[in-house]
Chain A
Amino acid sequence: MVRAVVRRSAITVPPALVPLFNQPPLVGEEKREDYEKLFLAIVATIKPSDTVVWLLARDFADLTWEIAREKRLKTQLIKLTEFDVVSKLVSPITPTFLPPDMSIGMGKKLAKQWAGDPKARQSVINKLADKGYDASDISTLAMNRAAPEIEVIDRRIGTYELRRIAAMKAIEQYSEASARRLAAASTDVIEGEFTEAVE
């Protein structure tokens, strides 16, 4: 596999762009270090020779980062929906004289065991099997329930991918060689398959 090797010392951001590149759009526990690794890999591949190409390289990095984030968001949504489905399926039927919150609380407790406690998980799986549900039923129910939101996330991913292609085409306008190198290495760069060689 071809790997882009990033040498920090070989890359110098034009001084005028340093303040602009100072605040990557990170969220939650995303690490600046990881973002910079991605950006350096892209820059090492493109070798920008012009301010415009530097801006477009940053754009390419931002979009690649946001696509990866949206994919994680989708996974997080599916897991959360599965959790919700399991907690409802394993909720005991509450007698009418008790508040419904009691069964919801019990369902959530069991769903937590299903999601995070490998030992207790099997007993919850057995409970679900008793009610006629297996793992694929849970996935299907979760996907059906989250479908409208998943569709919106997928649309956003599609939009960002198109913009990333547009950024690559714009790079081509300024430097055909840079765009060729980026297209050749983009699988590595996009999937984060690069190594860093700090001198």
Chain B
Amino acid sequence: MKTSERKVISNRKNAQKSTGPRSELGRLRSRRNALRHGLAIAIGSDPSFSEDIESLATTLASGRAGQIVQEFARQVAEAHLDLVRIRQLRAERLVAVVGNPDVKLEDYSELNNNLAQLERYESRAFSRRKRALLALSKQ
């Protein structure tokens, strides 16, 4: 269902009111968000991925001309590489439990909490790629 014009305007207006965390502790905590797993940093702004993104975007756009195609191809590449890095991170976190002979029941609950943190990033990356793929397929 398409969001109504009125709703869009209202969302924008409300977003202007948002100032993020206000308390000193909240600001300190949010400042450290990106350092925990690096996923809060957009993959496109991470120089260690720029070469991979460019290379994949070029492959995706090959045979098709136009700046719009390049832009959508880049969006697909960014979202796909984001999914790849999230899955790598998930695998790293699973090592603590999968096949560990000394695993304890508490480790499962910790793992589930850890994976839930990654899930929201994966869900966003998946939606971003879906939208970009749809846009690319229409070009």
**Do they bind each other?**
yes
A contact set with B: CB distance below 8 Å: 14, 16-17, 19-20, 23, 25-30, 51-52, 55, 59, 62, 66, 69, 72-73, 76-77, 80-81, 84, 145-146, 148-149, 152-153, 156, 159, 163, 166, 170, 173-174
Contact B105 A80 (CB under 8 A): yes
* CA A145 to CA B105, docked complex, whole Å: 10
Contact A69 B83 (CB under 8 A): no
Contact A27 B98 (CB under 8 A): yes
Which partner residue on chain B sits nearest A16 by CB separation?
B59
Which partner residue on chain A sits nearest B90 by CB separation?
A25
B contact set with A: CB distance below 8 Å: 52, 55-56, 58-60, 62, 76, 80-81, 83-84, 87-88, 90-91, 94-95, 97-100, 103, 105, 108-109, 112, 115-116, 119, 123, 126, 130, 133-134, 136-137
Q: How far is the CB of B85 from chain A (nearest CB, A)?
A: 10
Given A20-B56, A27-B99, A170 contacting B133 (CB threshold 8 A): yes
Q: How far is the CB of B89 from chain A (nearest CB, A)?
A: 9
Which residues on B sit within 8 Å (CB–CB) of A16?
Answer: 55-56, 58-59
Contact A19 B52 (CB under 8 A): yes
